[in-house]
Every structure is written in structure tokens, then in C-alpha cells.
């Protein structure tokens, strides 16, 4: 498959301003993003995600390695014309109105005035800023500014959209709208590469992910590959009755997670689920469900950040190497 992004052996080192200490922000990272994919880029703060993204959009040069975006170099003008980019915590010319800002950027993309007049209002409506298009951006809330950022990233109807923390600052409704927007981009054949700390959103959207930690790639693959193998644990969801004992005291339960008032998830080893069920029923709990416990993306990222890595990564996924 023709790849939208190819990163091979990417290394980025820089020196701190005062002490000139060498910092290895990214260490030999390799991955490929296929065209039409939604690709999640994950890792804790300081993992090297934003540095890698800056390399992809030409703001930073790699110290070593090869980076190809849409078949060309990141600073190639032809590539830039087909690229949309939302930086992390974007800053705008806040003295401008969103229409004025998009007009400036539209001119940079070589859009004619007539085209800008046609496209910009539609785009602002699409990101939910139609009613605020004539207000200065400095008067916008953080969430509204994030929407302006998303609008400018989509202005040129790009083939590849790179979004650094697109959900940042958005309320649940705004988050939902951005999720829908990203999904609609995929439906139109666009490639979306995004980083996010909101792992539930990544789980919902991403076809494949890369997990980075301290500049090193820890894992990459599709979500079923990384999460789908399940674990050797079972989760039993219980509803407590008045006078029910502490579910953690049930024999065989290794830990308990509260889901909502009166509803808990008891985790136990796979071989102990029958005794746990029997003890729970005897103690007056109602059993809501029993299921094989699957690792969540959050657990996967946390386990890599903790340095241990998961107990077992899916068969197709890779740990610490390129996919």
C-alpha cells in the first residue's frame, strides 16, 4: 500500500539553551501510516510525540533517519499543499476574526478569492463557529480557539491531516464533534494522524497506533493486535444489595473497580471465576455480567510508560520496533 507517512530510524537530539545539555527527544523511531488510515500517536508527556510531529510538518529537521510525507520531503511545497496541521495548543493572530485568519491561510494555499469566500463560511459552520465568525479570536474560549485550529487544518481539503492533541480544551460535545469530524475524514478517504491523551477517543477512532515513551517506540499495530488477545483474568460485574459485604472481601477477587453507585467490577484470575460467582451470589450480590478481561489502551500505554510493557502484546503488534 502506498504510505502517507514513512518514518525510518528517526532520531532527534537537541541541546538545552543554557547548559547545552544534549537531549535525545526521539530515538530511532520507525513507523508507516497507510493512506486512508486513522493513526493514533500515543505516549505520556515528554515521549517525543510533538517533536516527531514537528519533524513531519517541517518545523524541525531530523538529526538522523528518513521521513517521507505523502511521498515527498516535509518541506516540499507540493506536500505542504496537501497537508493540514493542527499544532498542540495553537496560537492565532488573535486580533483577526476567524474569517480573516482563514482568508490569510487560504491565500497561502493559493485559493482564489472566490474560492475562499465559498469555502470559509462552510468550513466555519462545519466546526461549529458559524455564529462566531465575525468576532475577534481573542474573545474566543479555549474550545472555540481549538475549533478555529481544526478549521485551518481542513481549509485546503488536505489528503493528510496531522492533529496534535485535537481534543484538548474541548467539552464533551466538542470532543464528540471532533470525533465525528475525524471519522468523516476517513470516510472521504483522507489520512488522519493524531496524538491524544484521551485514550478512549483513540480507541474509538484509530485503525493503528504507535506508543512512544521517552523517545523510544514501545509498540505499534492495530488495536485488535495490541489489545485483542485478552488477559488471563475475568471481570465479574456485580450489583450490590442492601447489606452486601465489601466485594473485595469475596474469596478469589484480586481487585475491585467501582463503576457507579452500587455497581462494581470484580477482577479475578480466569480459573477462579466460578468460586467468585458462587460467593457473590451467596453474599447477596446480583451478577450483571461475566466476561474475559481485555486490556484497555490506557492500561497498555500506562504499562509501557511504567517501563514494564504489557504481559503480552497481540500477535501482529510489535514492541519496540517498526511495523
Partner 1 sequence: MTAAVVRISAIARNTFVEAARNRAFVGLGVAAVGLVVSSMVLSGLALSDQQSRVLVDFGLFSIALLEVVIAIVLGVILVFKEIDRKTFYLVLPKPVHRHEVLAGKFAGLLGVLAVALVLMAAAWFASLASRDVEFKPDMAKALALVWMEAALVTSAAIFFSSFATPVMSGVFSLGVFLVGRNVAVLEELLAGTKGPLVHNPLARTIAETTVFVFPDLTRFGVGREVILGIPVGWDYVGAAALYCAGYCLFFGALASLVFRRREFL
Give the shortest CB-87-to-partner 1 separation in angstroms: 4
Between 50 and 303, CB nearer to partner 1: 50
Q: Which of 176, 185, 172 has its CA nearest to residue 123?
A: 185
Residue 266 near residue 235, CB atoms below 8 Å = yes
Residue 206 near residue 19, CB atoms below 8 Å = no
Residue 249 near residue 264, CB atoms below 8 Å = no
Residue 262 near residue 237, CB atoms below 8 Å = no
Between 162 and 268, CB nearer to partner 1: 162
Handedness of CA 90, 93, 96, 101 (dihedral sign): negative
Give me the DSSP letters along 111-170: --HHHHHHHHHHHHHHTT-GGGTTS-GGGS-HHHHHHHHHHHHHTT--SEEEEESTTTT-
Between 178 and 264, CB nearer to partner 1: 178
Chain contacts with partner 1 (rule: CB under 8 A): 14, 51, 54, 57-61, 77, 80-81, 83, 85, 87, 90-93, 95-96, 100, 104-105, 107-110, 149, 152
Give the shortest CB-59-to-partner 1 separation in angstroms: 4
Q: Could you give the CA distance from residue 290 to residue 123 in angstroms, rounded to a whole number?
A: 46
Give the shortest CB-110-to-partner 1 separation in angstroms: 6
Between 60 and 300, CB nearer to partner 1: 60
Give the shortest CB-201-to-partner 1 separation in angstroms: 22
Give the shortest CB-107-to-partner 1 separation in angstroms: 4
Q: Could you give the CA distance from residue 60 to residue 64 in angstroms, rounded to a whole number?
A: 12
Between 61 and 142, CB nearer to partner 1: 61
Give me the DSSP letters along 167-207: TTT--HHHHHHHHHHHHHHHHTT-EEEEE-S-HHHHHHH-S
Give me 70's grid cell.
505523502
Between 134 and 242, CB nearer to partner 1: 134
Residues across the chain: 323
Give the shortest CB-154-to-partner 1 separation in angstroms: 13
Give the shortest CB-14-to-partner 1 separation in angstroms: 6
Secondary structure letter of residue 285 according to DSSP: P
Number of neighbouring beta carbons within 10 Å of residue 24: 15
Between 10 and 60, CB nearer to partner 1: 60
Give the shortest CB-308-to-partner 1 separation in angstroms: 30
Residue 198 near residue 168, CB atoms below 8 Å = no
Between 26 and 227, CB nearer to partner 1: 26
Amino acid at each position: 500500500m502506498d504510505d502517507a507517512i514513512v518514518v525510518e530510524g528517526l532520531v532527534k537530539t537537541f541541546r538545552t539553551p543554557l547548559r547545552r545539555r544534549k537531549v535525545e527527544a526521539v530515538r530511532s523511531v520507525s513507523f508507516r501510516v497507510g493512506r486512508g488510515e486513522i493513526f493514533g500517536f500515543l505516549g505520556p508527556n515528554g515521549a517525543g510525540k510533538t517533536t516527531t510531529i514537528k519533524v513531519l510538518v517541517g518545523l524541525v529537521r531530523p538529526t538522523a533517519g528518513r521521513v517521507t510525507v505523502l511521498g515527498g520531503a516535509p518541506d516540499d511545497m507540493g506536500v505542504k499543499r496537501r497537508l493540514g496541521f493542527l499544532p498542540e495548543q495553537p496560537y492565532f493572530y488573535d486580533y483577526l476574526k476567524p474569517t480573516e485568519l482563514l482568508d490569510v491561510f487560504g491565500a497561502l494555499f493559493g485559493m482564489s478569492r472566490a474560492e475562499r469566500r465559498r469555502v470559509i463560511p462552510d468550513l466555519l459552520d462545519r466546526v461549529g463557529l458559524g455564529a462566531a465568525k465575525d468576532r475577534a479570536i481573542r474573545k474566543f474560549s479555549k474550545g472555540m480557539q481549538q475549533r478555529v485550529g481544526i478549521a485551518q487544518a481542513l481549509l485546503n481539503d488536505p489528503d493528510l491531516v496531522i492533529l496534535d492533541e485535537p481534543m484538548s480544551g474541548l467539552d464533551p460535545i466538542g470532543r464528540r464533534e471532533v470525533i465525528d469530524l475525524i471519522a468523516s475524514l476517513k470516510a472521504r478517504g483522507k489520512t488522519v494522524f493524531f496524538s491524544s491523551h484521551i485514550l478512549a477517543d483513540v480507541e474509538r477512532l484509530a485503525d493503528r497506533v504507535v506508543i512512544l515513551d521517552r523517545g523510544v517506540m514501545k509498540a505499534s499495530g492495530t488495536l485488535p493486535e495490541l489489545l485483542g488477545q485478552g488477559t488471563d483474568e475475568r471481570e465479574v460485574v456485580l450489583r450490590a444489595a442492601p447489606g452486601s459485604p465489601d466485594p473485595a472481601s469475596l474469596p478469589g477477587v484480586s481487585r475491585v473497580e467501582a463503576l457507579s453507585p452500587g455497581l462494581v467490577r470484580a477482577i479475578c484470575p480466569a480459573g477462579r471465576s466460578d468460586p467468585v460467582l458462587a460467593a457473590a451470589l451467596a453474599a447477596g450480590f446480583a451478577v450483571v455480567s461475566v466476561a474475559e478481561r481485555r486490556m484497555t489502551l490506557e492500561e497498555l500505554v500506562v504499562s509501557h510508560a511504567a517501563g514494564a510493557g504489557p504481559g503480552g502484546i497481540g500477535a501482529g503488534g510489535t514492541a519496540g520496533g517498526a511495523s
